[in-house]
Amino acid sequence: MTSRRNLIKSLSLLPLAGALKPDFFIKKNSASELPKSAKRDYFKELGVRTFINAAGTYTFMTGSLMREEVKNAYIATSYDFVNYHELQDKVGARLAELLDCEAATVTSGAAAAITLGTAGTLTGLDPEKAGMLPHLDGTSMKTEVIMQRKHAIEYAQAIENCGVKVVYVDTAKELEKAINKNTAMYYFVNFLNYEGEIQWQEVLDICQKHGVPTMIDCAADVPPVENLFRFQRMGFDMVCFSGGKGLRGPQSAGILMGKKKYIDAARLNAPPFGDTIGRGMKVNKEEIVGMLAAVEDFLSRDHEADWKLWEGQINLVQNAVKDFEGMNTEIKVPELANVVPTLHLNWDTSKIPISGDELKEEMRNGHPSIEIAGGGKNSVSITTWMLKPGQERVVASRLNEILTQKTT
């Protein structure tokens, strides 16, 4: 009796805020005192081989490595419950402010941003309609999405998930003709701007004239950092980015941003709502905040220093291979998407008797394993932006070693 009263008394003497703070109960681990589980070598236990990524941001190579800020955000947010809607609202508002657009939301990747954005143009803010997708027959929803035939990439499947029919056009005239009362949206693939006959502004002019919402897929379009702002300013209603490529956020996150009415409608089709086409496209709270941390980190980075690092690394690799007789090397920077120094190698197989595929395979099978891109008969390509500093030396010496073996 007395002891109970004393206990209550002594509890009341504790600083209340401190007593109720979650870290009163669960100790957070700082990086310097990692828990045992963080030191476990899961990949080794599983027999999954790690590799040096001199290829780029490929989904099957698990995208990019998250920045420390992202990992810290992930862990820091893993100790408490929050309301999913509130978190998405507030992270979305912060992203919109950072990215200078009306609204934004975190999706489970750019492909999900495409599906959810498309769904929103069909359902608007009507939850009943969201429950009907992908079935459009007999509803009042629109049924068509237009794109240029040259923009028909594999990821455009994300649009068809919504049950719509894709209408392909080649020219501005065809676009004008294709727009009708069933047109829900126009889909543009940024990196194919110069491939298609109709480019950014002309597409926007035509679609805006007819009140057709526009979406641009910019999944792999940072760096440069300006691209995070460029397309909403240009006038696209919805802009989609991958979180797990150049932004170096969680691989299973991405951003849909743009006009508020489209972002709000997209969210109606997304988790936590159960009867939606996007229910399987869940982003956990840690990834939602991790995506914000990635954007903050990306915006505040010294991009020139990043560039100098990548360039120095690629020059080192080029120097290790360029003097082999019959070898052509060239460093190029793509104009759109994966805008980083890229080393292209192609060679005369009568002087260097190995195919591109074989070289790739030998790089992969060495110790450590190294992934490069391209392949085929007599060429490969290499980027350095996914390397950890220092790994360029390993890539350079291994390439040199293989080529030396083949030519002597």
Ligand X SMILES: *Cc1c(COP(=O)(O)O)cnc(C)c1O
Binding residues for ligand X (CB under 6 A)? 59, 109-111, 153, 155, 189, 217, 219-220, 242, 244, 254
Structure tokens at 213: 């919402």
Minimum distance from residue 398 beta carbon to ligand X (Å): 28
Minimum distance from residue 337 beta carbon to ligand X (Å): 7
Classified as helix, coil or strand, 342 is: strand
Other Cβ atoms less than 10 A from the Cβ of 6: the count is 10
133 or 192: CB nearest ligand X: 192
- Compute the distance between CA of residue 89 and CA of residue 229 in angstroms, rounded to an integer: 20
- Compute the distance between CA of residue 134 and CA of residue 136 in angstroms, rounded to an integer: 6
Q: Cα 4 from chain centroid?
A: 56
Contact status, residue 403 vs residue 378, Cβ threshold 8 Å: no
Minimum distance from residue 227 beta carbon to ligand X (Å): 13
- Compute the distance between CA of residue 35 and CA of residue 44 in angstroms, rounded to an integer: 18
Residue with tokens 């849909």: 256
**∠ Cα 85 79 248 (to 5°):** 70
61 or 309: CB nearest ligand X: 61
Residue of this chain nearest to ligand X (CB atom)? 109
109 or 223: CB nearest ligand X: 109
Minimum distance from residue 58 beta carbon to ligand X (Å): 9
111 or 133: CB nearest ligand X: 111
Residue with tokens 């950890």: 388
Minimum distance from residue 393 beta carbon to ligand X (Å): 29
Structure tokens at 263: 């972002």
Minimum distance from residue 99 beta carbon to ligand X (Å): 17
70 or 132: CB nearest ligand X: 70
95 or 219: CB nearest ligand X: 219
Minimum distance from residue 364 beta carbon to ligand X (Å): 22
Residue burial 145-154, b: 16+ Cβ < 10 Å; e: rest: bbbbebbeee
Minimum distance from residue 240 beta carbon to ligand X (Å): 7
Residue with tokens 């932006």: 385
Contact status, residue 55 vs residue 382, Cβ threshold 8 Å: yes
Contact status, residue 250 vs residue 290, Cβ threshold 8 Å: yes
Minimum distance from residue 271 beta carbon to ligand X (Å): 16
281 or 402: CB nearest ligand X: 281
244 or 356: CB nearest ligand X: 244
84 or 155: CB nearest ligand X: 155
User: In the 3-class helix/strand/coil scheme, how is 64-127 assigned residue by residue?
Assistant: CCCCHHHHHHHHHCCCCCCCHHHHHHHHHHHHHHHHCCCEEEEECCHHHHHHHHHHHHHHCCCH
- Compute the distance between CA of residue 82 and CA of residue 285 in angstroms, rounded to an integer: 8
- When computed from its CA atoms, the radius of gyration of the chain, rounded to whole angstroms, is 25
Omega within 30 of 0 (cis) for the link into 272: yes
Structure tokens at 250: 């969680």
